[in-house]
Structure 1
Amino acid sequence: MKKLNLKGLTGEVVTRFSPSYEEARQEWNRAVQKFPLVILYCTNTGDVSNAIIWARKHEVQIRIRSGGHHYEGYSIGNGVIVVDLSRMDGIMLNAKEQLKVQGGVKNGQLYAFVGSLGYPFPGGTCPVGVSGYTLGGGWGFSSRYLGLGCDSLIELEIVDYTGRILTANQFVNGDLFWACRGAGGGNFGIVVSMTFALPEKVDKISFVEIYAPKADAKMQETFLNAWQYWLEDLDERMTVNASLFNSLEEGMAIYGRGFFYGSPEEAAEVMEPLLNNGEIQLFVTQLSFLEAVRAVEATYPEYERFKSTGRFVYRKYSEKEIRNIVGLISKRAEGSIYAAITVYALGGKASQINPFETAFFYRQADYIMGIQTVWTVPGFAEENTQWLKKRFPYVKSLTKGSFVNFPYSHLRHYEKEYFGWNAPRLKKVNKKYDPYNVFTFPQGINGSPRP
């Protein structure tokens, strides 16, 4: 076996002979098990540049990892170099009171920084990396009030295929800036910093939760029907998601939560139409923004094994269609401990930007509909994968396009599905900024074979 030549790499190098390799190669989704050639922990942009130059010289494919939360694990791969940015986690306010974060910052770190200063932020709902979240558009519990994550982005720095650092904003490399607001991570280079405009400070928000234990299929159908009409004139200060689920522990139930930028009394009034005449419990707590996001983050496990995806809903469903949707989770896969249909409210500020103004195309959708299955025993991966694969065609028949932040590896014509009519322009941008397809991965723009 030829000895691996690591000359030229800077930062902490981990190989399969390193004691930390097994831990270092794990993604948040433990259903993903890949074996990279090298994992490189970068501490500065020089490390990132050197990694790209080394990879090209040795003809090794690159994967980019900041939070490690990619649903399909495209931030890792077999025989690749993983450029890990998790140690590049600096955050600062610049002279213009804009927020600048390095490429490895996670939501929790960002929330702690801005929340301590009294600011909210349109970030994600779980401890993901800020850059991957933003590059894919970014849905969160502030999306209807503050816009998607990418809507606050005003500039980024990205290391290109030559190892050079490029700045992209509306005045410089504007086409790249356009593409980086919705095309997903990993396509054009390695993002090493992002600068965001901050919203106005808030004192308190209302953290909303709904819960219906033992919600049979009929109640779940009633809820989903109410949901689709409730969204029509929803106060844009409210953003929620809700899961219709079937779990090993609870059976069939409903749980939802979200943020309302107003008083608890107003929040309760807004939520009333969803409560099915009191059958669904409502809990509203007045918290600081930081307290609210921490309450959400505390519910996420350290890792999971799951298969999941999400698509965009543009119309109302008939009773029969709703019955069929709920029926998708009536039986869990073998080994599954949790199966769910989850709906994520869109509209509000997220819909007030033209679909062609940024790469995130599906702004006019009413909501995102996701489907997922979770298991704990590794041996049940195939059963759960097939469970979702069998149900996906029906979900696809009712929806338009897939959310790149909720990717699905079995998606056909994925560029069209993820990017809609923005796909042709994205291919041109990719050809310009990555002409040799250096930043390739299984569902990258311009495509590549699945490793």
Structure 2
Amino acid sequence: MNTCNFNGLTGRVVTPDDPYYNELRQVYNRSVQKFPLAIVYCLNQNDVSNAVLWARKYHICLRIRNGGHNYEGYSTGNDVLDIDLSEMNQITIDEDAHLLHVQGGVTNKQLYEFVSSKGYPFPGGTCPSVGVSGYALGGGFGLSCRYFGLGCDSLLEIRMVNYEGCMVNASSQENADLFWACRGAGGGNFGVIVSMTFRLPHKVNKVTIIDIRYPHADQEKQSLFLQTWQDWLKDADQRVTLISRIYNSLYEGLAIIARGIFYGPPEAALGIIAPLLELGGVKYSLKYVTFLEAVTIIGDFYPPYEKFKSASRFALRDFSNCESLKIAGLIKERAEGSVYASISFYALGGKVAEVDEEETAFFYRKANYIVWLDTVFDEHKCKNAAWIADRFRYLESVTKGSYVNFPYACLPCYLEEYYGSHVCRLKKVKEKYDPFNIFTFPQGIGGFYDTNFTASKCCIPSR
């Protein structure tokens, strides 16, 4: 433990002797248990700046946290200073300029409620408590992405506190290299994002929420659904974005679900999704609701927290019949202690693929969809991690790359997996805007300094 005092930190500071520390240190994935030196809840950019300078003074490593949804828990750590932005949650709209301004701590739920009150949708994420800044900086898959693009595609400007505690603006006209990197490289690499400006989409009255279920689906039916899904997606109307999932639940057994949003009426949606309803035994519903109702219904499927291990890949080609059967077979047996195992398919294409892969740091523009393997468990964390590792080997052999917003700690060459040919360019941006690697975490662009080492090995120079 580093020897220091907390003088110089402003905002609300929570330390291990605080009665709420054990509750407040938790992140969404409860299989991650870390013990930060302190958590500072920042109210403004001055609090953020003071936190960065304090950490440099005392040679303390930093983490940046909003919703705490990093799947590997990289927004916290042992003996680090957690900079928590959740209380910086102001949102404003300039309707004349079609601009949306959000502070760095805004969550999907907060943003959806605000924009919907003005009649707008937003290409945000599916889980309500996810932070918008981390979501967008990692690219930003959501159930509007085929229609509006990824979350980062609507991003117009960022304001960031850098390693010197100073404010840096980035847009296509100012610090364009940093702006490029912040659209797909993930959060926490270059500085602390204190505000973002997005382009507003056009107003939308209602959308159709799609829910497709096959309650009893053995390995063969799950495999056939995957074949049907990938064929359907090739020519699917870009107004629809779905997440399809084959799963094995302790309570339901093997089953299939597909859920998403269509920007149009139910009668049009039915014609579009018809190929996904033809396997036999299907149950489906189409509800014509407001955008806020749709994202609320979808968000209600997410628990407030859970214990899980997961890994992601990109599907850049069709799977053969044999490959689909093997993929479905990966979840036929759950790990010991697991209550739910699944493979999800997050639809890409549409507006996502219309952006050139060099225009932003998000590299996998041409992927058909994201593949996500996960296991949710009550106990036996190590056995569930081994279950993922064992199945990941096959997924890796038939896919390319991984999604930085769905990180996997066991990637052998994580930079290339997350960023493809953008690695060298991202390293140059990192060296320019964070030359001392102040913003470091496992799988960070600048490498990682283990916070279990002594302070001298953390290599953070004082100002």
Is the structural similarity TM-score above 0.5? yes
Q: Which runs of 5+ in 1 are unaligned?
A: none
> Alpha-carbon deviation of 1:317?
1.2
Do structure 1's residue 369 and structure 2's residue 371 form an aligned pair? yes
> Alpha-carbon deviation of 1:368?
0.6
Instruction: Give the whole-Å Cα distance in 1 for the aligned partners of 2:214 and 2:113.
Output: 32
> Alpha-carbon deviation of 1:376?
2.2
- Structure 1 counterpart of 2:28: 28
- Structure 2 counterpart of 1:112: 113
Q: Which runs of 5+ in 2 are unaligned?
A: 452-463
> Alpha-carbon deviation of 1:278?
4.1
- Structure 1 counterpart of 2:79: 79
Structure 2 counterparts to residues 237-276 of structure 1, below 5 A:
237-276=239-278
1:316 aligned to 307, 315, 318, which one?
318
> Alpha-carbon deviation of 1:446?
2.1
Instruction: Give the whole-Å Cα distance in 1 for the aligned partners of 2:218 and 2:140.
Output: 32
The letter for the 2-side match of 1:36 is: P
- Structure 2 counterpart of 1:395: 395
Instruction: Give the whole-Å Cα distance in 2 for the aligned partners of 1:286 and 1:376.
Output: 36
Do structure 1's residue 189 and structure 2's residue 197 form an aligned pair? no
- Structure 2 counterpart of 1:154: 156
The letter for the 1-side match of 2:113 is: A
What is the total number of aligned residue pairs between the two structures? Answer: 449
Conservation of the 8 A alpha-carbon contact between 2:216 and 2:253? yes
Deviations 1:81-126 (A, max 9, x none): 0000000000001362311000000000000000111111000000
Task: Calculate percent identity across the aligned residue pairs.
Answer: 55
Deviations 1:179-222 (A, max 9, x none): 00000000000000000001100111110000011111111011
1:283 aligned to 278, 282, 285, which one?
285
The letter for the 1-side match of 2:140 is: G
Conservation of the 8 A alpha-carbon contact between 1:223 and 1:276? no
> Alpha-carbon deviation of 1:3?
5.6
What SS does structure 2 have at the residue aligned with 1:402? Answer: coil
- Structure 2 counterpart of 1:407: 407
What SS does structure 1 have at the residue aligned with 2:53? Answer: helix
- Structure 2 counterpart of 1:358: 360
Do structure 1's residue 446 and structure 2's residue 446 form an aligned pair? yes
Q: 1:277 to 1:371 in 2, by over 3 A?
A: closer
Shift >3 Å, 4+ stretches = 1-4
What SS does structure 2 have at the residue aligned with 1:373? Answer: strand
The letter for the 2-side match of 1:280 is: V
Q: 1:147 to 1:169 in 2, by over 3 A?
A: same
Deviations 1:277-326 (A, max 9, x none): 44322211001101100111111111010011211101111111111100
> Alpha-carbon deviation of 1:448?
1.5
Instruction: Give the whole-Å Cα distance in 2 for the aligned partners of 1:449 and 1:100.
Output: 34
Instruction: Give the whole-Å Cα distance in 2 for the aligned partners of 1:280 and 1:342.
Output: 18
What SS does structure 1 have at the residue aligned with 2:92? Answer: strand
RMSD of aligned residue pairs (Cα, Å): 1.1
The letter for the 2-side match of 1:118 is: G
The letter for the 2-side match of 1:114 is: V
- Structure 2 counterpart of 1:217: 219
The letter for the 1-side match of 2:413 is: H
Do structure 1's residue 302 and structure 2's residue 315 form an aligned pair? no
Instruction: Give the whole-Å Cα distance in 1 for the aligned partners of 2:426 and 2:3.
Output: 39
Instruction: Give the whole-Å Cα distance in 1 for the aligned partners of 2:4 and 2:251.
Output: 48
Instruction: Give the whole-Å Cα distance in 1 for the aligned partners of 2:2 and 2:424.
Output: 42
Instruction: Give the whole-Å Cα distance in 2 for the aligned partners of 1:88 and 1:24.
Output: 16
* 55-64 vs 318-327, which moves further: 318-327
Q: 1:450 to 1:55 in 2, by over 3 A?
A: closer
The letter for the 1-side match of 2:98 is: E
TM-score, normalising length: structure 2: 0.96
What SS does structure 1 have at the residue aligned with 2:401? Answer: strand
Structure 2 counterparts to residues 306-345 of structure 1, below 5 A:
306-345=308-347
